Amino acid sequence: MERPRSSRPAPRQALDRRRRRQDQPDGGADRRRLRRLRADDRRPRARPYELGCAIIGQTANLAPADRRFYAIRDITATVESTALITASILAKKQAAGLDGLVMDVKTGSGAFLPDQQDALELARSIVAVAARGGLKAVALLTDMSEVLGGTAGNALEIAEAIGYLTGGKREARLHAVTTALAVEMLLLGGLAQDAEEAESRVAAALSSGAAAERFARMVAMLGGPADLLERPHHHLAAAPAIVALPPPLPGFVARIDVRRVGLVVVALGGGRRRTQDHIDHAVGLSDVAPLGAAVGPERPLAIIHARSPEAAAEVSGTLAEAFEIADAPPPPRPVLGPRIAPP
C-alpha cells in the first residue's frame, strides 16, 4: 500500500523557503526589525517610572478612537462642546493608566476657552467625570491674558525653562503657575501632607538644583543631548534675524491679544497651519512686554526672532496690533484663579 505523502516540506525545502523569504524586502530581516522596534516602543513606558517624569505626546496607539471623534466634532461644529472636550481629555489620560491628574485650564485671550465661565465649566466637568471613573483629579484655572513668561516659540521657550530651572530669571507669573501645579501634584501623589510642606519641597528642589538635574536626566532618557543644561545655546536653534518691535506710541500695555501673538509665531514658521508643515524651532518672540509694562523707544513690545529681516517685517504690523497701549497701566490681574477639586 502506498504511504500518503506528508504535507510538510522536506528540511532542505523548508530551509530554502526561509532563505527566500529573508531575501525579500518584507521578509525575515524586516520582521525581525519590526519586532525590535516593537520592543523599543515598549521600553520608554518603563523609563518614566524609573526617573519619575517624562514629557510625552499622544501616539497613534493611545485612545485611537479619539482622533475619529475629533474629526466628527470638527465637521459638526461641536469642537467647543464641554462634554466632548472632557471625554477627549480623559480618554487619553485614563488610557495612559494615570493614578492622579492635575489640569491647568487656561482662560483669557490666549486660551482655547477665553471666557472664564466656560473654562470653569470645563474644569468642573473634567474633575467630576474623572472622579466617577475612579481617577483623582484637581484643576486650576490660570490666566492667559498675557504671555506666560517672556518668550513665545520653541527653542526660545526651552531656553527660558532652562534658565528658570538653573537659577536664572524666573518671571513671577510663570513661577506662580509652576509652583501651584507642582504643589497640587505632590499633594495628589501623597508626597506632602499639606500645601505648605509641598511648596517648601518645590522651593527646595529648585534652589538645590535637584529639579534641573532631574530635567537633564529626563532629556537624555528621551534621546536628547546629555549636556543640554550646560550648553543650551549649542543645541538650541537660533534665528539669524533679531528685530526689536517698538510700540506705535509710548505708554502702558493695557491689553494683549495673546491668540494673535501665537499666530505671529505660526506665521514666522514656529507652528503648523497644516499637518505636513515643517516647524522652525528657532523663530519666535522674546522679551514680550507684559500687561502694565511701560513701553516706548527704550522698551519694545517684543523682540522678533525670524529667518530674515523681511520675515520679521511681514509680521510686525500684526504683532503691534496685538497690543493695546494706554496712558495708564491696567489694574493687576491674578494669574491663579479658582481651584476645582472633587467634593
Q: Which long-range contacts (CB under 8 A, 24 or more apart) does 122-126 make?
A: 122/82, 122/85, 122/86, 123/338, 123/340, 124/340, 125/82, 125/83, 125/85, 125/86, 126/86, 126/89, 126/90
Helices of type H across the chain: 11-23, 28-51, 65-75, 82-95, 116-132, 154-165, 172-188, 195-208, 210-221, 232-235, 258-265, 309-321
User: Rounded to whole angstroms, how far apart are CA atoms 79 and 140?
Assistant: 22
DSSP code of 111? S
pLDDT over 80 at 118, yes or no? yes
When computed from its CA atoms, the radius of gyration of the chain, rounded to whole angstroms, is 26
Classify the phi-psi angles of 149: left when phi > 0, otherwise alpha if psi is within -120 to 50, otherwise beta.
Answer: left
In CATH terms, the fold of domain 64-144 is: 1.20.970
pLDDT tens, residue by residue, 121-151: 999 999 999 999 999 999 999 999 999 999 9
In the chain, what's the furthest Cα-to-Cα distance? 110
Residue 35 has pLDDT above 60, yes or no: no
Q: Show me where the domains of the chain are located.
A: 64-144, 239-326
Q: The domain 239-326 is classified under which CATH number: 3.40.50.2300, 3.90.1170.30, 3.30.360.10, 3.40.640.10?
A: 3.90.1170.30
The grid coordinates listed for 128 are 467630576
How many whole angstroms separate alpha carbon 126 and alpha carbon 17? 56
Angle between helical axes of 28-51 and 11-23 (0-180°, round to 10) = 70
> Which residues have CB under 8 Å from 309's CB, separation 6+?
241, 243
> Burial of 123 by CB count in 10 Å (0-12 exposed, 13-18 middle, 19+ buried)?
buried
> According to the model, what pLDDT value does residue 141 have?
98
The secondary structure element, H or E, covering residue 284 is: strand 284-286
pLDDT computed for residue 164 by the predictor: 97
Do residues 119 and 111 lie in contact, with contact meaning Cβ atoms separated by under 8 Å? yes
Average of per-residue pLDDT values in the chain: 88
Residue 55 predicted with pLDDT over 70: yes
The per-residue pLDDT for 23 is 45
Q: What is the pLDDT of residues 289-321, one digit of tens each?
A: 999 999 999 999 999 999 999 999 999 999 999
